[in-house]
Structure 1
């Protein structure tokens, strides 16, 4: 039997003919050169080098050729595909450079111009509120006093005439950070025999002031305080108070009333005054609750006022003449000097001033709430 006739080509494969390969190459090179941008070049790449492109189809047809023809056809198609890929890479480099240059021109930013792209921050209303209150008293000649929030039990309670059995010392009202040891000396402020608490009021600042300064004393003490209250619309375990203390010769309740009336007027406008209702506080005697004349209805049409609920007055804080026991405990001559003290919630004052209904809005850190107040009150 004779062998196979290897010179005979029974298959007509037009895709690998020289003229077809050249035509496909020229078409691809022309399309690449005409690509105006990277998006056009991406489309050209798919059309002329993708799986369904003419050169890719020609490359697959090489296998149908007789062995003698495959080498030449493979080299022909390979050269064509190589030229197309080189042209694509070169055009890609040119178009990327053009794109980068265009972006530099079109998106140039003049960094010397003012911009409002970043939101302008705002100070927290409690901060500006406390500073406003401090400014009111500084303008009257008072000083601003500060103290630590972690306080000695003696300064927080004993110096203020709250004895060892007072209910405010229990866990119902106080956060204790160190247990109380009542066996130690009661007059040792920082040593053994005293517990340590998160201060329940800013009154310890007043005690510290009397221990370190000689009268006359006129100080206002804003700051954070802590009590074991529930967290709801009107209560918080952490809140802010401002307390004032005046110790001098001849101080009376009349001085206290005039001071608080001026404070109320500065905070809520002309015509807003205060009234006193008898009360009891261990550190003042006599003591009074301070009511604020309603700053909405001014007590004129109180029946329909939602702010004061028909009372014409709003509870604001507490005050009184400093108990002589407090003066003596802090080393002040109670025979020569008298004084008055008062305390209000800064948070509550801001709620009144700005019509806030939920105390939690002051503590939840929502920048939209803070921004509404701007940089100042």
Structure 2
């Protein structure tokens, strides 16, 4: 046996032993490159064939092919075995025992403020209204001036809010949403605008500096106060689950004329529920709608107040306290 044949035989034994001990597919691929690659061990041995005679070269070439085939066959078997083992390990790791009890996660509850908003929105959507939303940070124009409340108007004192360094402010009502919507849409309009509002109120049992409000707006030709009264009566009947005595008291809001407060008789006493009125012609003019052609009505109420009435809650601060003893009742 020539030296090259001896080297090939030794290489085959070493390669087969190394392949039998490999544990990963990555290591197996590295062995393939080391032995069978263009710069592998077999190629290095065959590089010495130039020194052989023409009669010796065929024998060395045949021996090299036998070694290559033996190594490749062992590589293929090891690759199959390692892939099978990998799949089995993955299956074992991902096996799910369907007989074991699941991990218990207690189901959450909807906060009474959110549930009240959802309930009121469902009522108005059922009456043909569309939900509209807008930014909580507003300009003075959208929060006051477009709603017929110029800078020197005394009504601003009742809606003092939080002003930002850039001159913007936190909205005091969702009426600003109505201005945005009317600027972008032509009548007929029927929208409901729920959302969070802010005022510099002293926090007590019935007031909060942060609260939620729902407002409705309807714009169309020939709408009257009778349409407003009918809408509110139907809403309150659905909200309280029964037809209750309702009264309208004359009031004042800068953006409606005439304006009224709405009271409902509930559990033997009159409760103030919302404010309402016919949209002031100046507001329609601001958004580009002709008050000679269109009329409209608006109404708004505090979500917290209605939630307190419906759930018999005596202190608005309980709605924001995150006390699970309180929230788990709902």
Q: TM-score, normalised by structure 2?
A: 0.68
Tell me: CA distance 1:126–1:250, structure 2 relative to 1, closer, same or farther (3 Å).
same
Pair 1:113 & 2:70 matched: no
Distance in 1 (CA, whole Å) between partners of 2:195 and 2:258 is 25
Does residue 1:240 correspond to 2:207, yes or no?
A: no
| Structure possessing the higher radius of gyration over alpha carbons | 1
Asked whether 1:164 is paired with 2:151, we answer: yes
Question: Residues 254, 172 of structure 1: CA spacing in aligned structure 2 closer, same or farther, 3 A cutoff?
Answer: closer
- Partner residue of 2:297? 340
How many positions carry a matched residue from both structures? 234
Mapped to 2, the partners of 1:149 and 1:323 lie a distance apart of 24
Once the two structures are TM-superposed, the CA of residue 135 in structure 1 deviates from its matched residue by: 0.7
Assess if the C-alpha contact under 8 Å between 2:155 and 2:254 holds in 1.
Answer: no
Label 1:369 to 1:211 Cα distance change in 2 as closer, same or farther (>3 A): same
In 2, Cα distance between equivalents of 1:282 and 1:322: 10
**Which of 120, 126, 132 is the equivalent residue of 1:145?**
132
4+ residue segments displaced more than 6 Å? none
In structure 2, distance between residues paired with 1:216 and 1:124: 34
Choose between structure 1 and 2: higher helix proportion: 2
Aligned match of 1:217: 189
Q: State how 1:58-97 maps to structure 2 within 5 Å.
A: none
Question: Following TM superposition, by how much is the alpha carbon of 1:347 offset from its aligned partner in structure 2, in angstroms?
Answer: 0.3
Other-structure match for 1:226: 198
- Distance in 2 (CA, whole Å) between partners of 1:171 and 1:272 is 30
Corresponding residue of 2:42: none
Q: What are structure 1's unaligned runs of at least 5 residues?
A: 1-108, 180-194, 298-307
Q: 2-side partners of 1:196 and 1:273: how far apart?
A: 42
Cα separation, partners in 2 of 1:156 and 1:110, compared to 1, 3 Å: same
In the alignment, the residues of structure 1 paired with residue 126 and residue 106 of structure 2 have an alpha-carbon distance, to the nearest angstrom, of 34
Q: CA deviation at 1:344?
A: 0.5
Structure 2 residue aligned with 1:367: 324
Q: Would the aligned equivalents of 1:160 and 1:283 in 2 still touch at CA under 8 Å?
A: yes
Q: Tell me, yes or no, if structure 1 residue 128 matches structure 2 residue 85.
A: no
Structure-to-structure mapping, 1:203-352, within 5 angstroms: 203-294=175-266, 296-297=267-268, 308=269, 313-352=270-309
Shift of residue 167, structure 1, vs aligned partner: 3.6
Aligned-residue offset at 1:272: 1.7
What is the alpha-carbon distance in structure 2 between the residues aligned to residue 149 and residue 352 of structure 1? 26
Contact 1:264–1:273, Cα closer than 8 Å, also in 2: no
* Paired position in structure 2 for 1:64: none
1:257, 1:274 within 8 Å by CA — same for their partners in 2? no
CA–CA distance in structure 2, aligned partners of residues 245 and 292 of structure 1: 21
Q: Is the 8 A contact 2:160 2:200 kept in 1?
A: yes
- After superposition, what is the alpha-carbon deviation per residue over 1:100-119, rounded to whole angstroms, capped at 9, x for unaligned? xxxxxxxxx9774356x443
- CA distance in 2: counterparts of 1:330 and 1:365, whole angstroms: 41
Residues 174, 293 of structure 1: alpha-carbon distance in 2 compared, 3 angstrom cutoff? same
**Which residue among 163, 166, 170 is the counterpart of 1:198?**
170
Per the alignment, in what secondary structure is the counterpart of residue 230 of structure 2?
Answer: helix
Is the CA contact 2:192–2:217 (under 8 Å) kept in the aligned structure 1?
Answer: yes
SS of the counterpart of 1:120?
Answer: coil
In structure 1, distance between residues paired with 2:165 and 2:121: 32
Matching residue of 1:354: 311
The aligned counterpart of 1:191 is none
Runs of 5+ consecutive residues of structure 2 not aligned to the other structure: 1-96
| Distance change (3 Å), C-alpha of 1:130 and 1:342 | same
Alpha-carbon distance in 1 for matches of 2:168, 2:194: 20
How far apart are residue 317 of structure 1 and its match? 1.4
Query: What whole-Å deviation, never above 9, does each CA across 1:171-192 have from its counterpart, x for those lacking one?
Result: 971111146xxxxxxxxxxxxx
